[in-house]
Amino acid sequence: MLKVLFFASVKEELDCSALEIPWDESVDSLDSLQERLIRDGGPNWRLALERKNMIRAVNHDMVTGNSPLKDGDEVAFFPPVTGG
Amino acid sequence: MLKVLFFASVKEELDCSALEIPWDESVDSLDSLQERLIRDGGPNWRLALERKNMIRAVNHDMVTGNSPLKDGDEVAFFPPVTGG
Amino acid sequence: MNNLSVSVQTEDFDAACLQRELLSASHEEGAVVAFTGYVRSENIGQCVNNLLLEHYPGMTERSILAILSQAAERWPIVAASVVHRVGPLGVGDQIVWVGVSSEHREVAFSACEFVMDYLKNEAPFWKKESTAKGDRWVEARATDAERARRWSG
Amino acid sequence: MNNLSVSVQTEDFDAACLQRELLSASHEEGAVVAFTGYVRSENIGQCVNNLLLEHYPGMTERSILAILSQAAERWPIVAASVVHRVGPLGVGDQIVWVGVSSEHREVAFSACEFVMDYLKNEAPFWKKESTAKGDRWVEARATDAERARRWSG
């Protein structure tokens, strides 16, 4: 299973803070997971997830570009951070 | 009259924190005042006042090199500062 | 290292208290540089009424600790601490405190600024402002990314 | 400017108090950087028992205010304050506090470090340390003069 989290404006646009995706090889990378989310969610999800400057994190680490996923991973989608 | 002040190690070496010199044209510059102090004070004063890195201030401003003096000025001799 | 500490909390903090906790029992440090971030009354020309700070629990603490560890590898700091608030905040409220102690001031200044620059770019917090024109998510400043980059190289 | 303040005093100070006094009523500032200097337990390899801080009354206040004015001309700071202690101090005691507030952190960091670098070179204070080997006047660090010079140019 993959745990998928959304934060801030991404969460609001999707009206979704978290969901779980059963693990299989069709979601064994960040890009393929994102495609699955868009396929299941529709145009609204495409708009929200393909935004410029989207940040993706795997197991609490920000990731640049695509990245392999394995069963049990936690994936997060969020906009550029603005703390401090 | 000139008011002359000494601080920190300079004050201790001279065993003097302040003195007054009657104003006249023979002490119309920092260098001539210093020569007067050494003439009156002796070798111990020469040693203390001609030390490397001596800082001289006129009316609360640090001065580099010689500087004219006028009646009523306050002159100070001190080592490099170590506050903060 | 156990002289690095991170707290993410809704409660306010007392900077003097945090600074005393930072100090070593052996009085090695000659310098502490402390940064405090506040909610400003105005941002990009609009009046701010209040702020909501969201974060990514777990990743937040981990990323800040990673930043402190990098600072400790890079400079001979004695101790470093970050307290970051989350939840609803009002204008003038304290948001974040970063304290760094070291023997000499150069290290404390550099390490504290480094931690803030990285925190601004790597710690998963998001600010939502409430203004007269409605709510809006604060956008990241391009200069923040630049400032973090100048530390590499 | 009346948002610049200097105090030279024998009494200890409360950093949180000073920081609150620094803040504007209008909450313009998003950042405060505060430096605190302490009496270290060891200096150049020798154990320090206590410290005596001498100064040049009148010139001290004037030179620090001149440094703050320079900082205010150079950066858009909201307020800046310096408190410096004189007289006898013990190990671990606070010596100096420099606080600078501004809209953004870059300015607060730069201006605070600038003030410390100049204060170290231009404000007439002298430290005398008491060690097991006797009393000695602390010598100025060559790096302090270098650090002040890097701001010009």
Q: Which of residues 13-72 of B touch D (CB under 8 A)?
A: 53, 57, 60, 62
Would you call D26 an interface residue with chain C, using a CB distance cutoff of 8 Å? yes
Place of tokens 């000494």: B6
Q: Which of residues 72-111 of C touch D (CB under 8 A)?
A: 91-92, 103, 105-106, 108-109
Task: Determine A/B contact with 3+ CB pairs under 8 A as the test.
Answer: no
- Report CA-CA distances (Å) from C73 to A53, C26, C114: 30, 21, 12
DSSP summary character for residue D140: P
pLDDT tens track for D45-74: 788 889 999 999 999 999 999 999 999 999
Mean pLDDT of D89-104: 96
pLDDT of residue C126: 98
B8-22, B59-73, C77-91, C137-151: least confidently modelled range: C137-151
For residue B59, what are its two tokens? Answer: 């009316």
Would you call A81 an interface residue with chain C, using a CB distance cutoff of 8 Å? yes
- Report CA-CA distances (Å) from B76 to A20, D55, D58, D84, D106: 76, 12, 12, 21, 37
What percent of chain C shows pLDDT beyond 90? 80
Chain B hits for D142, CB-CB cut-off 8 Å, are none
Question: Are A75 and A69 in contact, with CB atoms under 8 Å apart?
Answer: yes
Which of D17, D27, D106 has the CB atom closest to C92's CB atom?
D27
Would you call C113 an interface residue with chain D, using a CB distance cutoff of 8 Å? yes
pLDDT tens track for C96-133: 999 999 999 999 999 999 999 999 999 999 999 998 88
Which of C17, C27, C30 has the CB atom closest to D37's CB atom?
C30
pLDDT tens track for A19-48: 999 999 999 999 999 999 999 999 999 999
Mean pLDDT of A54-69: 97
The CA-CA-CA angle for residues C143, C101, D129, to 5°, reads 135
Number of Cβ within a 10 Å radius of residue A44? 12
Chain A hits for C138, CB-CB cut-off 8 Å, are 82
Rounded CA gap, B71 and D128, in Å? Answer: 33
Is pLDDT at D2 greater than 90 in this prediction? no
Would you call C90 an interface residue with chain A, using a CB distance cutoff of 8 Å? no
What percent of chain A shows pLDDT beyond 70? 100
Mean pLDDT of D134-140: 93
- Which residues, including other chains, have CB under 8 Å from residue C93's CB and lie 6 or more apart? C12, C38, C39, C51, C85
Is pLDDT at A56 greater than 90 in this prediction? yes
CB within 8 Å: C36 and D32: yes
DSSP-based three-state secondary structure for A42: coil
Question: Residue C44's pLDDT band (boundaries 50, 70, 90)?
Answer: confident
Mean pLDDT of C59-73: 97
CB within 8 Å: A84 and C123: yes
Is pLDDT at C9 greater than 90 in this prediction? yes
Find, in chain C, the residue whose alpha carbon is nearest to that of A57.
C59
Mean pLDDT of D94-121: 97
- Which residues, including other chains, have CB under 8 Å from residue A13's CB and lie 6 or more apart? A44, A47, A48
CB within 8 Å: C120 and A57: no
Nearest alpha carbon to residue C85 among C2, C18, C3? C18
Question: Residue D142's pLDDT band (boundaries 50, 70, 90)?
Answer: confident
Which of C23, C29, C37 has the CB atom closest to D30's CB atom?
C37
Question: Are B79 and B9 in contact, with CB atoms under 8 Å apart?
Answer: yes
Q: Where are the beta strands (DSSP E) in D12-116?
A: 31-38, 42-43, 46-55, 77-85, 87-90, 94-102
Question: Are B59 and B53 in contact, with CB atoms under 8 Å apart?
Answer: no
Which H helix or E strand runs over C2?
none
Tell me the β-bridge partners of C50: C90, C130
pLDDT tens track for B33-62: 999 999 999 999 999 999 999 999 999 999
Mean pLDDT of D132-138: 92
Question: Are D86 and D43 in contact, with CB atoms under 8 Å apart?
Answer: no
Is pLDDT at C1 greater than 60 in this prediction? no
Q: Provide the sign of the torsion angle of the four alpha carbons D125, D101, D5, D34, taken in this order.
A: negative
Q: Average per-residue pLDDT in chain B?
A: 97
Would you call D142 an interface residue with chain C, using a CB distance cutoff of 8 Å? no
C45-49, C50-54, D79-83, D104-108: least confidently modelled range: C45-49
For residue C138, what are its two tokens? Answer: 């604060």
Would you call B80 an interface residue with chain D, using a CB distance cutoff of 8 Å? yes
pLDDT of residue D153: 67
Would you call D39 an interface residue with chain B, using a CB distance cutoff of 8 Å? no
Number of Cβ within a 10 Å radius of residue D1? 12
pLDDT of residue C2: 58
- Which residues, including other chains, have CB under 8 Å from residue A48's CB and lie 6 or more apart? A10, A13, A14
CB within 8 Å: B9 and D137: yes
* Highest mean pLDDT out of C17-26, D83-92, D138-147: D83-92
Question: Are D98 and D109 in contact, with CB atoms under 8 Å apart?
Answer: no
Would you call D28 an interface residue with chain C, using a CB distance cutoff of 8 Å? yes
Question: What's the count of helices (H) and strands (E) in chain C, helices before strands?
Answer: 4, 9
- Which residues, including other chains, have CB under 8 Å from residue B62's CB and lie 6 or more apart? B55, B56, D122
Which of C16, C40, C105 has the CB atom closest to D27's CB atom?
C40
Find, in chain A, the residue whose alpha carbon is nearest to that of C86.
A83
Is pLDDT at D86 greater than 70 in this prediction? yes
